[in-house]
Amino acid sequence: MAPVRFRVNGKPLSVDADPSTPLLWVLRDHLGMTGTKFGCGIAQCGACTVHLNGDAVRSCQVPLESIADASVTTIEALATNGGAHLQQLWAELNVPQCGYCQAGMLMAAADLLKKTPKPTDEDIDGAMTNICRCGTYPRVRAAIHRAAEKAA
Protein backbone atom coordinates (compact mmCIF):
# COMPACT_ATOMS: atom_id res chain seq x y z
CA MET A 1 0.00 0.00 0.00
CA ALA A 2 1.16 3.51 -0.76
CA PRO A 3 1.92 5.87 2.10
CA VAL A 4 -1.15 7.57 3.53
CA ARG A 5 -1.06 11.36 3.48
CA PHE A 6 -2.91 13.38 6.06
CA ARG A 7 -2.39 16.35 8.34
CA VAL A 8 -1.63 16.30 12.02
CA ASN A 9 -1.92 19.59 13.88
CA GLY A 10 -1.80 21.43 10.61
CA LYS A 11 1.31 19.72 9.30
CA PRO A 12 1.08 17.62 6.16
CA LEU A 13 2.77 14.26 6.49
CA SER A 14 2.71 10.79 5.16
CA VAL A 15 2.99 7.44 6.88
CA ASP A 16 3.84 4.10 5.35
CA ALA A 17 2.64 1.34 7.64
CA ASP A 18 0.22 -1.55 7.67
CA PRO A 19 -3.14 -0.06 6.57
CA SER A 20 -4.89 -1.59 9.58
CA THR A 21 -2.63 0.21 12.06
CA PRO A 22 -4.88 2.29 14.33
CA LEU A 23 -4.38 6.05 14.22
CA LEU A 24 -3.56 5.81 17.93
CA TRP A 25 -0.43 3.81 17.20
CA VAL A 26 0.40 5.80 14.11
CA LEU A 27 0.50 8.89 16.31
CA ARG A 28 2.29 7.35 19.26
CA ASP A 29 4.68 5.00 17.62
CA HIS A 30 5.24 6.13 14.02
CA LEU A 31 5.01 9.87 14.64
CA GLY A 32 6.34 9.88 18.21
CA MET A 33 3.41 11.94 19.48
CA THR A 34 2.67 10.32 22.79
CA GLY A 35 0.23 12.82 24.27
CA THR A 36 -2.62 10.67 22.94
CA LYS A 37 -2.95 7.69 25.26
CA PHE A 38 -3.63 3.98 24.94
CA GLY A 39 -6.12 2.77 27.54
CA CYS A 40 -8.21 -0.09 26.20
CA GLY A 41 -7.96 -0.37 22.41
CA ILE A 42 -11.67 -1.15 22.07
CA ALA A 43 -13.42 2.24 22.15
CA GLN A 44 -14.31 1.94 25.83
CA CYS A 45 -12.17 4.46 27.67
CA GLY A 46 -11.62 7.54 25.52
CA ALA A 47 -7.98 7.98 26.54
CA CYS A 48 -7.09 8.01 22.84
CA THR A 49 -9.52 10.79 21.87
CA VAL A 50 -8.37 13.13 19.09
CA HIS A 51 -10.21 15.45 16.73
CA LEU A 52 -10.63 14.06 13.23
CA ASN A 53 -11.82 16.66 10.75
CA GLY A 54 -13.08 18.65 13.73
CA ASP A 55 -14.92 15.91 15.62
CA ALA A 56 -13.83 13.95 18.68
CA VAL A 57 -13.08 10.33 17.81
CA ARG A 58 -11.45 7.40 19.57
CA SER A 59 -8.26 6.99 17.60
CA CYS A 60 -7.80 3.33 18.57
CA GLN A 61 -10.76 2.62 16.26
CA VAL A 62 -9.54 4.60 13.26
CA PRO A 63 -7.35 2.59 10.88
CA LEU A 64 -4.62 4.37 8.99
CA GLU A 65 -6.17 3.46 5.65
CA SER A 66 -9.30 5.46 6.48
CA ILE A 67 -7.66 8.82 7.07
CA ALA A 68 -6.25 9.77 3.70
CA ASP A 69 -6.40 13.57 3.38
CA ALA A 70 -7.96 13.89 6.81
CA SER A 71 -7.01 16.52 9.34
CA VAL A 72 -6.14 15.34 12.85
CA THR A 73 -5.74 17.51 15.94
CA THR A 74 -4.13 16.05 19.04
CA ILE A 75 -3.66 17.19 22.63
CA GLU A 76 -0.27 18.61 21.70
CA ALA A 77 -2.04 21.27 19.63
CA LEU A 78 -5.17 21.77 21.70
CA ALA A 79 -3.82 25.05 23.07
CA THR A 80 -3.59 26.55 19.59
CA ASN A 81 -6.97 25.12 18.59
CA GLY A 82 -9.09 26.93 21.13
CA GLY A 83 -8.35 24.80 24.18
CA ALA A 84 -5.84 26.93 26.10
CA HIS A 85 -8.46 28.24 28.52
CA LEU A 86 -9.59 24.70 29.29
CA GLN A 87 -6.04 23.59 29.97
CA GLN A 88 -5.58 26.52 32.31
CA LEU A 89 -8.76 25.67 34.19
CA TRP A 90 -7.57 22.09 34.52
CA ALA A 91 -4.63 23.44 36.52
CA GLU A 92 -6.63 25.99 38.48
CA LEU A 93 -9.16 23.40 39.61
CA ASN A 94 -6.47 20.74 40.18
CA VAL A 95 -8.48 18.38 37.98
CA PRO A 96 -6.02 15.58 37.11
CA GLN A 97 -4.80 13.02 39.56
CA CYS A 98 -2.50 10.62 37.73
CA GLY A 99 -3.43 12.54 34.58
CA TYR A 100 -3.32 9.60 32.22
CA CYS A 101 -6.94 9.94 31.09
CA GLN A 102 -6.85 13.71 30.94
CA ALA A 103 -5.66 14.24 27.38
CA GLY A 104 -8.72 12.33 26.26
CA MET A 105 -10.92 14.20 28.73
CA LEU A 106 -9.68 17.54 27.45
CA MET A 107 -10.16 16.59 23.80
CA ALA A 108 -13.70 15.39 24.54
CA ALA A 109 -14.48 18.48 26.61
CA ALA A 110 -13.19 20.83 23.90
CA ASP A 111 -15.39 19.08 21.35
CA LEU A 112 -18.41 19.32 23.63
CA LEU A 113 -17.90 23.03 24.30
CA LYS A 114 -17.43 23.78 20.62
CA LYS A 115 -20.75 22.14 19.78
CA THR A 116 -22.60 23.05 22.97
CA PRO A 117 -21.12 26.24 24.42
CA LYS A 118 -23.40 26.13 27.48
CA PRO A 119 -23.71 22.44 28.32
CA THR A 120 -26.13 21.21 30.97
CA ASP A 121 -25.18 18.38 33.31
CA GLU A 122 -27.06 16.04 30.97
CA ASP A 123 -25.09 17.31 27.99
CA ILE A 124 -21.89 16.63 29.91
CA ASP A 125 -23.05 13.16 30.92
CA GLY A 126 -23.86 12.38 27.32
CA ALA A 127 -20.65 13.66 25.78
CA MET A 128 -18.10 12.77 28.43
CA THR A 129 -18.00 8.98 28.46
CA ASN A 130 -14.26 8.76 29.05
CA ILE A 131 -13.12 6.57 31.91
CA CYS A 132 -11.10 8.04 34.75
CA ARG A 133 -9.95 5.47 37.29
CA CYS A 134 -8.70 8.15 39.67
CA GLY A 135 -12.21 9.53 40.14
CA THR A 136 -11.82 13.05 38.75
CA TYR A 137 -15.34 13.20 37.31
CA PRO A 138 -16.65 15.87 39.73
CA ARG A 139 -13.72 18.14 38.90
CA VAL A 140 -13.96 17.56 35.15
CA ARG A 141 -17.64 18.52 35.33
CA ALA A 142 -16.87 21.63 37.39
CA ALA A 143 -14.12 22.68 34.98
CA ILE A 144 -16.40 22.33 31.96
CA HIS A 145 -19.08 24.44 33.61
CA ARG A 146 -16.50 27.02 34.59
CA ALA A 147 -15.16 27.16 31.05
CA ALA A 148 -18.66 27.73 29.71
CA GLU A 149 -19.26 30.54 32.22
CA LYS A 150 -15.99 32.22 31.34
CA ALA A 151 -16.72 32.03 27.63
CA ALA A 152 -20.14 33.63 28.12
Partner 1 sequence: MKGLLMQQDGAAGDLPLDRRRFLVSAAVVGGGMALGIGRGGAATGAGGKPVTGPWGPDAAQGSEFSPWIEIAPDDIVTIRVPQPEIGNGAMTQAAMTVTEELECDWAKVRVAFASIQRNHIEKGVYNVGFQGFFGGHSTEPDRMAHVLQLGASARERLKAAAAARWSVPVADISVKNSVLTHAGSGRTLRYGEVATEAARIVLPAEPARKPRSEWRLIGKSSPSKLNIPDIAHGRATYGIDVKLPGMVHAALMQSPVQGGKLKSHKPEAVLKMPGVRAVIVLDPAKTRGVPAGTKQAATFGFGDCQVQSAVAVIADHYWQARTALEALPVEWDAGSGAQWTDSAKIYAAASELRGKDGARTVKKAGDVATATGKRVVEGDYGTPYCENAMMEPLNATVLVTADGAEAWVPTQDQQQAYWTVIDETGLSPEKVKVHQTFVGGGFGRRTQADDVRMAVAIAKEFPGKPVKTIWTREETFRQGRYRTPITTQYKAVLDDATGLPQMIMGDVAYVGTRPSFMLPLGFSDQPYFNSGIIPNVRLTSANLPITILNGAWRAPCYNSHAFNLETFIDECAVAAGIDPLDYRLKLLAKWDKAWSDTLRVAAEKAGWGAKLPKGEGLGIAISCWPVANMHNNGSVIATVARVSVSQQGELRVRQVDVAFDCGSVANADAVRAQVEGGTMYGLNACLNEEMTVKDGAMVEGNFDEYPMMHMADAPVLNVHFEALSGHERMAIIGEAPTGPIQPAVGNAIFAATGKRLRRTPFRTQDLSWS
Q: Which does 19 bind (CB under 5 to 8 A by kind): partner 1, ligand FES, none?
A: none
For partner 1, the closer CB: 53 or 129 = 129
User: Which member of 61, 71, 81, 87 binds partner 1 (CB under 8 A)?
Assistant: 87
Q: How far is CA 92 from the centre of its chain?
A: 20
Q: Which does 67 bind (CB under 5 to 8 A by kind): ligand FES, partner 1, none?
A: none
User: Exposed e or buried b for every residue in 15-26, given b needs 16+ CB within 10 A?
Assistant: beeeeebbbbbb
32 lies in the binding site for partner 1 (CB under 8 A):
yes
Q: How far is CA 74 from the centre of its chain?
A: 6
Least distance (Å) between residue 143 CB and ligand FES: 13
Alpha carbon distance 25, 60 (integer Å):
8
Q: Which of residues 55-84 bind partner 1 (CB under 8 A)?
A: 74-76, 78-79
User: Which member of 56, 57, 101, 110 binds partner 1 (CB under 8 A)?
Assistant: 101
For ligand FES, the closer CB: 41 or 152 = 41
Contact yes or no for 110/103 (Cβ under 8 A): no
Alpha carbon distance 53, 39 (integer Å):
23
42 lies in the binding site for partner 1 (CB under 8 A):
yes
Contact set with ligand FES (CB under 6 A): 38-41, 43-48, 58, 60, 96-102, 132-134, 136
What's the Cα-to-Cα distance from 115 to each of 56, 74, 83, 108, 124, rounded to whole Å? 11, 18, 13, 11, 12
Alpha carbon distance 61, 135 (integer Å):
25
Least distance (Å) between residue 136 CB and ligand FES: 5
115 lies in the binding site for partner 1 (CB under 8 A):
no
